[in-house]
Amino acid sequence: MPAEVYAELASATAELVRAGGGVSFILDFDGTIAPIVSVPSQARAHPSMALVLKRIASHARLSIISGRSVGFLAEQLAFLREEDGPGHVELYGQYGLIRADLLGNVLATAHLDEEQLAMLDEVRRQWLEAPVDGILFEDKGASLAFHYRNAPEMREPLLNWIDMVLPNHGLSALVGKMVFEIAPESAPSKRAAALGILESGVPCVFAGDDYGDLEVFKTMHEQRLAGEPRVAILVQGGFETPPELLGLSEVHVRDQDELAFVLDQLLRAVLPS
């Protein structure tokens, strides 16, 4: 591991120890817990991450905030069920639209504007009628994802299609790694979910990798500047890492092995010996 990571980790550890009193972890799923794969349904927690997640789940509060459905997250994180203390692990699916426990039991659902959902239905209908070649379509119910990882040359035709079908209000197009996602404007953001978790005075560690995490990185950064104990970790997946995230994070790792090491060290530092 590069020397810079050890230096960043040392200062992050010192900050958490100085704050004292437990730690809360907020993690993204794709590109953070699981390596990015060409077929999204095949994404799985990296083995090193699975080990450290088990330790985190048995000692600290763990929240997963992802664009995925809570059903998918519950299935992929089923190995945590035996470690989970009461209320320790919570899943925030579809950017916080649905909050669930590790069994996938829904605890809360955010409200979506009916008119915007009808607009989304119309976009869905247009796609199914005349899809763009080579694009992997993922219907998440309350949002629609269009993956071009397996056909990068189709990015422009896909963008043109989105321009054509996206109404000028009501729906928004979100950018991710080799994916665009169309969602109602009333849909919650990861930031809103994170704000519900970030308690004043409680040290918090966040790790993410993509544009969808930008607002959480910004919130962590603002709170850190305001003196709250916050550590933001960026998982840099090569050329796809959004440059905006670099200056908003304190620790920079290259992959899941390095992230697992860093999270483990942070957890150990705050646990009573």
188 binds Mg ion (CB under 5 A): no
209 binds Mg ion (CB under 5 A): yes
SS3 content of the chain, % helix, strand, coil (to 5): 45, 20, 35
User: Site for Mg ion (CB under 5 A): which residue of 9, 13, 23, 28?
Assistant: 28
What's the number of CA atoms in the CB half-sphere (13 Å) around residue 225? Answer: 8
Residue 273 CB, nearest distance to Mg ion (Å)?
Answer: 33
Distance CA 215, CA 67 (A): 14
Q: Taking contact as CB under 5 A, which single stretch among the options 30-38, 81-89, 135-143, 197-205 is the one that binds Mg ion? A: 30-38
Q: Taking contact as CB under 5 A, which single stretch among the options 6-14, 38-46, 191-199, 207-215 is the one that binds Mg ion? A: 207-215
Closer Cβ to Mg ion, 94 or 116, answer by number: 94
Q: Taking contact as CB under 5 A, which single stretch among the options 14-22, 180-188, 206-214, 240-248 is the one that binds Mg ion? A: 206-214
40 binds Mg ion (CB under 5 A): no
How many Cβ atoms from other residues are within 10 Å of residue 239's Cβ?
A: 5
Mask for 140-169, x = binds Mg ion (CB under 5 A): ------------------------------
Q: Taking contact as CB under 5 A, which single stretch among the options 50-58, 109-117, 133-141, 204-212 is the one that binds Mg ion? A: 204-212
The most distant pair of C-alpha atoms in the chain lies apart, rounded to whole Å, by 61
- Amino acid at the residue 219: T
Closer Cβ to Mg ion, 8 or 210, answer by number: 210
List beta partners, residue 93. Answer: 98
31 binds Mg ion (CB under 5 A): yes
Residue 226 CB, nearest distance to Mg ion (Å)?
Answer: 26
- The DSSP string of 35-96 is ---SSGGG----HHHHHHHHHHHHHSEEEEE-SS-HHHHHHHTGGGTTTPPTT-EEEEEGGG
Tokens of residue 264, six digits: 């483990």
Residues that bind Mg ion (CB under 5 A): 28, 30-31, 209-210
